[in-house]
Amino acid sequence: MAAMSEHARHQEAFEAAVKAQADAAKPTVSAFATANAGSGKTKVLIDRVARLLLRREDGRPGAEPDSILCITYTRAAANEMLTRLFRTLGDWAVKEDDSLRETLAKLEGRTAESYSRDDLRDARRLFARALETPGGLRIETIHAFCARILRRFPLEAGVVPGFTEMEDRDARALWQAAKERAILEAASAAPEDLALITREAMNEGASSALDALKGSGAAVMRFAERHDFVIEHMMEALRGDLGASRETPEEILAAAMGDALPREVIREALRALLSGTTTDQKRAEALEQTLAAETPGAVWAAYAPFFLTEKGEFRAQNPYTKKTGELCPLLQEYFQVKDGEGRETARVRALVETLQRARAFARTAALIRIGLPALEAYRDEKARRGALDFDDLIQKTRELLEAEGMASWVLYKLDGSISHVLLDEAQDTSPEQWDLIRALTNEFGAGEGRDYSQDPRTMFIVGDEKQSIYSFQGAEPERLLKETRRLTERMPGATGVEMLMSFRSAPEVLTFVDTVWNRSPPIDVGIGGAPPQTANDIQHTARRWDQHGAVEIWPIEPKVPDDETDAWERPVDVVRATSPKAKLAAGVARAVRQMIDRGETIWEGKAERAMRPEDVLILVSKRQGGLFDSLITALKAEGLPVAGADRLILTDFIGVQDCLNLMRFATLDLRDLTLAEILRGPFCGLVDDDQYLFPLASRRAKGETLWSRVKASDDPDVQRAARFLQGLFDRAHLPPYEFLSHVLDRVGEGGLTGWELLNARLGTPARDPIEALLSRALGHDSTGPSSLQSFVAAMEAEAVEIKRDLAEAGREVRVMTVHGAKGLQAPVVILPDTTSKPKTSAPAVLASANAVVWSPRKDTDAEASKRARAIAETKAREEHRRLLYVALTRAQDRLIIAGHWQGQAGEGKTGYEKDSWYALCDMAMAALAPEDFELGLRFGKVSVAGAGGASANETPSGGLPGWALTPPQADPVVRKLSAPTSLLGPKTRIVAPFDAAREERLKRGRAIHALLQYLPELPEEKQEAAADAYLSRDGELTAAQRAEMKAAALGVMRDPALGAIFQPGGRAEAAIIGRSPELPEGTVINGRVDRLVVTPAQVLVIDFKTDQPAPDRPEDVADTYVAQMAAYWAVLKTAFPDREVVAALCWTDGPRLMRLPEAQLLAVLTSARGMV
């Protein structure tokens, strides 16, 4: 009975959620919907558009397709809505009558019988009507809408007909030029202003100050427009906002540190302090320097530390000890801070405030005097080129629609008026965009607009202030509340709808989300303006109430003790393998690997199935800092397919660097480094430094280039590379796109195209960046005369970022930022980047009441900028919390919180910072009574396929046909290349500790192998010198290590008992590829042996081993070594059936040769065949 009651309760909640969606989609009523994450807002938008198009129940026609405007936040969202809407309308077009009636009845909440044949006919025609609408259905971003309006009315809007929309890179280049020109002009016309902003910007320089001014967005332009760009009027408004006097900082100091300075009082205070304690005497130094200083600036520089800390804040304690203050009442009268202010303390406090205001005015005025002409030049140059950036599109359209009488005329001319506006992701709409939408809908709900086409004009807004995370693009979630109030006031019958039920996440995930949000510090409604009913008290209901999920929180990855860090300095962007970030990344990757290997399950529909890589989404707060790259590297190391970065700097990609190097070389950039990179790259493939680059580069005469050595080489591989490179010179005259196309599409001497060579070396992820490079080359060609040099220079000058669409999981693990994952979801979400505190730094240019103030640091704040900074920092903390909400709600079934150590280690340290995501999640988890498990704490449960009722492929109830129970016939064996050690079969993966001793052993083994590969080819008298030269290339080897390695290699070569190894007919590093009846069916061995000697009577296959100590008997040899040699032996026995094949290991520790008995080799092969 209890179970039935619970089911009934959830069914009631579901019916309420369905009703809320239906109310939000009602076409005749304006509405504002607050939609929790996963509550189906996209479905509601599509349902509302579909219902707007349908014939009304009273027989009135539905809305015309071109009268509906749906504004989305991104093009991807617009495309998704269009796809889903056309799929819906397409389904209606082909449905049978009864089925269509049921579908429409469910959508509109009517009875199926109420739909006439005319209703059905009109519904079926909607698909064709939508397709035939000029310009298509208007589901678009606000920028696309503005561009369409401006192209239709360019003269009315004051823009150039046929204007172009500027790419970000072009806008940056244009601004850079305007900025540089303004700085150059200021250097001669206003050197004092330039010196001031350069000094105030400190290490950032004047250029960054101008960037900050432009980055303040619409605030500075609104400020300028209010005063018609007249700088004198702007200065007066700025002075009023700051409360600054008309005196300059220098004049203020001259007065305050001149006659107003109480020198006799200071002398008496100095005498008292010098007679006091050591602390008093230390304080007296400031007063001594004050009396000794000569200029007002120097006096203040000496005097200020007596009152102020290094941060510019007033000291909390009196600048004298208690006893000294009692002995000298003058100190208390003038300099007291605690328990009342002394006279001089009060004067200095007032001086500091006056100076702050004056300095804020001076530096902001200087920045505006230099920066405003730069902004105007930037604007004028855009106009000259007939180009608009994204901000211009919004501004020009808003100005057009706000012009008196213009909005209604524009809307009337737009092929029939816009009667219905739908706004998606309203919480991310900026104030300028809201102004535009307000201008667009001002007539809605008033006068004639109410009865347009016998149907009320409607406005639908859907958003969620908890998901507003784009403040850097101007979003202000508090504006959402203001606009919804306006909507209800202006639109009769407008209603609010709450969509609380999540159709995405499991109950445990939603419970955790509610607990995190409701237990975290409350949002300041007074500053942030979030609606009180949802700001600090939220509750999600779960549609999937009967499908379990889990939330896990793992312990913080500990900090590496100081004695475990590297003894040498690494580049700042390299993450040590032992660092908390690298260890956390490895732990996350290992855990994902284990989840998949164990068959842990997620939900798909009503059944559970085993996890796959594409079910995992890993979210970080930023791409910088090393964790992002470490995660991708660690996932690849675990053999997991990973989608790679969702954003790439084009020139950081190695394949792009290879292509640019070819262009550099073709234009006679013959530097050795450029050529060496090309030779080792995919197009030439000379990857073995010891075989190719070292012989080419070493022992060159003075002035001899690597290119000349390449051309003179008689090595066939090097000659082939030389011919390829020579061909580049012949095409150096081509435009960049044609040059790259030739390189990529041409079939080379090896029978492969450039595309195939890149793919073979770098894999399929190489294609996206190379195609982006081709696109850039094509665009460069179209801008005018172009050359390879100009294209390479342009690519080097700009960090071109490409965005990869990871919305669809494919079959790979995805690693993304939280911002990039907005709108996405995944069965398993991992948050490893949770321990840092929110970034609350305010912008350098802050909006005051009627102006803008430049305050690059806190210690430069005046009262106006201090207030603005406090508001900005509070909003940043709010957004940090909202970003966590977005991250948590991406999870469908399983949510994992992890983190790396942040801050100092030591007793009482937690490893995470206050107000960090980890702190909030840890507090929430403690309130949910979680259970311990091997990795941390878990709330909820995890199933494993085949255990506890879960299965990888759940069988539906009912009988199955006989063929479904018949095992399929085995497919023919597919032959694949295998490593020799694959004969041992799948083994439990063992990761050896990567300690210093193991690294030394590996280094020793590689060096001795290399010597044994190359030294036998040299005359004996040159071998020692060559060995010394080779080993000296590794600067980390000691003299003793080099001597031991050389002795080991030469000992093998000069031992008479081992002479057979180096006899004529022998080959070093011989490739062995082939099959054998002795091998498991379908196995093709692909390996490389250290030494192969083929004589008329015998084939000798040898591998050098550097183990210390070497085993004494063949039966003590490691299984992997025996399997390796058995594979080679089997392939060679098949290839040389008429000769004796001997497999042997040559131990350099001795040295001695150990022949492996045939019986031992056959035993390994027999065992391998038995495992198949």
pLDDT (tens digit per residue) in 491-516: 778 888 999 999 999 999 999 999 99
Residue 318: name the closest of 309, 328, 331 by CA: 331
Q: Yes or no: is domain 977-995+1056-1171 CATH 3.90.320.10?
A: yes
| Burial bucket for residue 704 (CB in 10 Å: 0-12, 13-18, 19+) | exposed
Maximal CA-CA distance, the chain: 114
Q: What pairs with residue 541 in β-bridges?
A: 501
- Separation of CA 415 from chain center: 42
Question: Above 70 in pLDDT, residue 644?
Answer: no
Q: What are phi and psi of 1143, to 5 degrees?
A: -105, 130
Q: What is the rounded distance in angstroms from the CA atom of residue 744 to the CA atom of residue 211?
A: 40
> Which is it for the CA torsion 630, 631, 634, 636, positive or negative?
negative
The pLDDT value recorded for residue 950 is: 44
**Residue 1003 annotated as binding site:** no
Distant-in-sequence, close-in-space partners of 1062: CB < 8 Å, separation ≥ 6: 1016, 1053, 1091
Ranges of each domain in the chain? 2-160+390-502, 164-246+357-385, 249-340, 550-566+575-646+809-940, 647-803, 977-995+1056-1171
Structure tokens at 431: 């104030």
pLDDT digits (tens, 9 = 90+) for 789-808: 888 888 887 777 766 666 66
Helix, strand, coil percentages (3-state) for the chain, rounded to 5, are 55, 10, 35
| Contact call for residues 540 and 36 (beta carbons, < 8 A) | yes
> Which amino acid, one-letter code, is at 1142?
V
Q: What is the rounded distance in angstroms from the CA atom of residue 795 to the CA atom of residue 736?
A: 12
In this prediction, residue 785 has a pLDDT band, given cuts at 50, 70 and 90, of low
Structure tokens at 894: 């399983």
Question: Above 50 in pLDDT, residue 131?
Answer: yes
Q: What is the rounded distance in angstroms from the CA atom of residue 110 to the CA atom of residue 58?
A: 12
Lowest mean pLDDT of 189-198, 437-446, 829-838, name the range.
437-446
Residue 312: name the closest of 859, 858, 857, 866 by CA: 859
**Which has more confidence, 594 or 1138?**
594
Q: What is the rounded distance in angstroms from the CA atom of residue 846 to the CA atom of residue 862?
A: 11
Q: What are phi and psi of 621, to 5 degrees?
A: -80, -25
Distances (CA, A) of 153 to 134, 142, 392, 414: 17, 16, 15, 10
% pLDDT > 70, the chain = 87
Q: What is the rounded distance in angstroms from the CA atom of residue 165 to the CA atom of residue 157?
A: 15
| Contact call for residues 199 and 856 (beta carbons, < 8 A) | no
pLDDT digits (tens, 9 = 90+) for 869-894: 888 888 888 899 999 999 999 999 99
| Contact call for residues 431 and 438 (beta carbons, < 8 A) | no
The pLDDT value recorded for residue 691 is: 77
> Which amino acid, one-letter code, is at 795?
M
**Residue 1074 annotated as binding site:** no
pLDDT digits (tens, 9 = 90+) for 807-828: 665 788 999 999 888 888 999 9
Q: What is the rounded distance in angstroms from the CA atom of residue 466 to the CA atom of residue 897?
A: 20
The pLDDT value recorded for residue 573 is: 44
Q: What is the rounded distance in angstroms from the CA atom of residue 379 to the CA atom of residue 392?
A: 9
pLDDT digits (tens, 9 = 90+) for 388-398: 988 899 989 99
Instruction: Give the relative orientation of helices 296-303 and 249-256 as an angle to the nearest 10 degrees.
Output: 70
In this prediction, residue 954 has a pLDDT band, given cuts at 50, 70 and 90, of very low
Write down the mean pLDDT value for the chain.
Answer: 83
Q: What is the rounded distance in angstroms from the CA atom of residue 941 to the CA atom of residue 547?
A: 10
- Give me the CATH code for the 647-803 domain, please: 1.10.486.10
**Residue 1026 annotated as binding site:** no
| Contact call for residues 811 and 643 (beta carbons, < 8 A) | no
| Contact call for residues 452 and 488 (beta carbons, < 8 A) | no
- Pairing assessment for the beta strands 1098-1105 and 1140-1147 based on DSSP bridges: parallel
- Residues counted in the chain: 1172
Residue 905: name the closest of 555, 557, 554, 553 by CA: 557
User: How many other C-beta atoms can be found within 10 angstroms of the C-beta atom of residue 844?
Assistant: 23
Question: Above 80 in pLDDT, residue 584?
Answer: yes
Q: What is the rounded distance in angstroms from the CA atom of residue 1082 to the CA atom of residue 1077?
A: 10
Q: What is the rounded distance in angstroms from the CA atom of residue 244 to the CA atom of residue 253?
A: 14
**Residue 38 annotated as binding site:** yes
Q: What is the rounded distance in angstroms from the CA atom of residue 1135 to the CA atom of residue 583?
A: 47
pTM of the model: 0.72
Give yes or no on whether 2-160+390-502 and 550-566+575-646+809-940 have one common fold. Answer: yes
690 secondary structure, DSSP code: I
CA-derived radius of gyration, the chain: 37
**Residue 354 annotated as binding site:** no
Lowest mean pLDDT of 336-350, 668-682, 708-722, 838-852, name the range.
838-852
- Give the highest mean pLDDT range of 53-62, 232-241, 774-783, 1106-1115: 232-241
Question: Above 60 in pLDDT, residue 977?
Answer: no
**Which has more confidence, 118 or 1000?**
118
474 secondary structure, DSSP code: T
**Residue 39 annotated as binding site:** yes
Question: Above 70 in pLDDT, residue 528?
Answer: no
Structure tokens at 851: 């102006």
689 secondary structure, DSSP code: I
Q: What is the rounded distance in angstroms from the CA atom of residue 277 to the CA atom of residue 401?
A: 73
The pLDDT value recorded for residue 982 is: 60
Residue 516: name the closest of 892, 887, 936 by CA: 887
Q: What are phi and psi of 995, to 5 degrees?
A: -95, 180
Question: Above 60 in pLDDT, residue 224?
Answer: yes
Structure tokens at 956: 């539906």
The pLDDT value recorded for residue 649 is: 78
**Residue 447 annotated as binding site:** no
596: left (phi over 0), alpha (psi -120 to 50) or beta: alpha
Question: Above 90 in pLDDT, residue 296?
Answer: yes
- Separation of CA 426 from chain center: 24
The pLDDT value recorded for residue 981 is: 59
Q: What are phi and psi of 894, to 5 degrees?
A: -145, 135
**Residue 258 annotated as binding site:** no
> Which is it for the CA torsion 1130, 1135, 1137, 1139, positive or negative?
negative
Q: What is the rounded distance in angstroms from the CA atom of residue 78 to the CA atom of residue 781?
A: 31
Residue 629: name the closest of 833, 805, 836 by CA: 833
**In the predicted model, what is the mean pLDDT of residues 594-619?**
93
* 848: helix, strand or coil: coil
E strands within 832-899? 845-847, 852-854, 891-897
Adjacency order of strands within the sheet including 420-423: 138-141, 68-72, 420-423, 458-463, 31-35, 495-499
The pLDDT value recorded for residue 450 is: 45
Structure tokens at 420: 């219905």
In this prediction, residue 1024 has a pLDDT band, given cuts at 50, 70 and 90, of confident
Q: Residue 877 half-sphere exposure, CB side, CA atoms within 13 Å?
A: 18
Q: What pairs with residue 1156 in β-bridges?
A: none
| Contact call for residues 869 and 858 (beta carbons, < 8 A) | yes
Which CATH entry fits the domain spanning 2-160+390-502: 3.30.980.10, 3.40.50.10420, 3.40.50.12160, 3.40.50.300?
3.40.50.300
- Fold of the domain spanning 550-566+575-646+809-940: Rossmann fold (3.40.50)
pLDDT digits (tens, 9 = 90+) for 168-177: 878 888 999 9
Lowest mean pLDDT of 63-67, 391-395, 647-651, name the range.
647-651
Q: Residue 37 half-sphere exposure, CB side, CA atoms within 13 Å?
A: 27
**In the predicted model, what is the mean pLDDT of residues 1005-1011?**
79
The pLDDT value recorded for residue 636 is: 86
Question: Above 60 in pLDDT, residue 269?
Answer: yes
**In the predicted model, what is the mean pLDDT of residues 713-731?**
89
% pLDDT > 90, the chain = 34
Residue 1031: name the closest of 1054, 1002, 1011 by CA: 1011
Distant-in-sequence, close-in-space partners of 830: CB < 8 Å, separation ≥ 6: 588, 592, 616, 617, 618, 619, 896, 898
**In the predicted model, what is the mean pLDDT of residues 338-343?**
87
